[in-house]
Amino acid sequence: MSTHAPAYLDKLNAVPENFARFIARIPEVPVSTNRNAVIDALTPHHEQVLKEAGINPKLLRRAQQVHGNNVALVGDIGCSYPVEGVDALYCGGKADCCLGIYVADCAAVWVYDTVSGSRGLAHSGKLGTQQNIVGKLLHAMSKTIGVTPADCIAVISPCIRPPHYEVDIPTAIKAQLAEAGLAEENIIDSGLDTAADTETFYSYRVEKGNTGRMLALFGRTPEA
């Protein structure tokens, strides 16, 4: 399994302290209609990516992901994970924790504050996008830890797109990020369609639920 970060994450990973990854399909792991079972099967492979980067898997922080727009501040010490009832997580720039979001057609959205180093990661599918989860994330980061959206970089992961889906999720997300205050040049879209390449990605729609989950990760390198 390759742990190389895809090119659309280059702007994030150009910062030495950043660890941004998107773990795509792992062919040797059988797919399943049972989300929890397939995540259990994928977990050792996902944790290996963290270990190879020198990150303790115990530092992984996940959200329950209920297709809503609630967000949570997490850190190195805290509550049990996944955090119930939320679809986005964020942390301060000095936190060693690694944020994680699962997707299988929905978009993962990385948010990075270039001034403070604060990090955010959102799960934005059809419903989350309709509820402006990325706007809620940026508002929370601004209100609670002083992030200025104009200082932020955001990246949109591979996700389902037209013509394979009736809703243009990434276009809506880009508009919401801009409305929240991000500069156009700091909004990066992977441009990749999960439904168009099931050799590389999982697609809930194409595989009719009998699929796996990709994992977006956003943490700090141990050297930082």
Question: What pLDDT does residue 76 have?
Answer: 86
Assigned domain for 4 exists: no
Which CATH number is 89's domain given? Answer: 3.60.140.10
Assigned domain for 30 exists: yes
Assigned domain for 174 exists: yes
User: Per-residue confidence at 38, pLDDT binned at 50, 70, 90?
Assistant: very high
Assigned domain for 5 exists: no
Assigned domain for 98 exists: yes
Assigned domain for 84 exists: yes
Assigned domain for 74 exists: yes
Bridge partners for 213 per DSSP:
none
At 110-145, the pLDDT tens digits run: 999 999 999 999 999 999 999 999 999 999 999 999
Domain count, the chain: 1
What is the model's pTM? 0.96
d(CA 180, CA 139) in angstroms, rounded, equals 8
- Token pair for 189: 């879209």
Assigned domain for 54 exists: yes
User: Per-residue confidence at 4, pLDDT binned at 50, 70, 90?
Assistant: low
Question: What pLDDT does residue 1 have?
Answer: 47
Q: Could you tell me what percent of the chain has a pLDDT over 70?
A: 96
Range of the domain at 68: 11-208+215-220
